[in-house]
Amino acid sequence: MARMFVAATCLVAAFVMSSGAPVMAASDLTKQERCLALAMYWEAKAEGAEGMMAVGAVVLNRVEHAEFPGSVCAVVTQGGEKPPCQFSWWCDGKSDEPREAEAWATARELAPAMLSERPSDPTQGGLFFHASNIAVPWRSKRERTVQIGRHIYYR
């Protein structure tokens, strides 16, 4: 019976991934968990758990910093739905519904864990990041802390 369930789950996941249909099923998440999961998914879905945790750490570092809003969702949506905003996926005018089942499952698993018991910070206090294939996008000087995957982190 367990093998049939696993096989059926794999078939459904393969269909969803190949069809390009949204793979939400996030009703098990609180609002703050969902905001964190979406940020990790959209900013680092190609980097696996390590990259997602680094993005999640930046969001949580901002929540704790006086210059940023005091909740995960407020940090993620800061600036509104039109540019400029803090996270480009939020204000790009495209759907925010995840479509890659495996990456979304990873983000959904990590977000509640990071909010309930925060792991050590892989970004070393990072408050900002950008993709390594673009020039530093800020006018202000920031201290580079680490590169994780395709992102460079700063405080």
* Residue 83 belongs to domain with CATH number: 1.10.10.2520
pTM: 0.81
User: Which domain range does residue 58 map to?
Assistant: 24-118
Q: Which residue(s) pair with 144 in the sheet?
A: 154
Residue 1 inside a domain? The answer is no
Count of Cβ atoms closer than 10 Å to residue 9 Cβ: 10
Domain count, the chain: 1
Could you report the per-residue pLDDT of 91-139, keeping only the tens digit for each? 999 999 999 999 999 999 999 999 999 999 999 999 999 999 998 888 8
155 falls within a domain? no
In a domain, 74, yes or no: yes
Q: Please state, in angstroms and rounded to a whole number, the distance separating the CA atoms of residues 54 and 120.
A: 10
Question: What distance in Å separates the CA atoms of residue 109 and residue 81, rounded to the nearest whole number?
Answer: 26
- Reading the block at residue 82, the tokens are 């039109």
**pLDDT given at position 27:** 64
**pLDDT of res. 83:** 85
**142 lies in some domain:** no
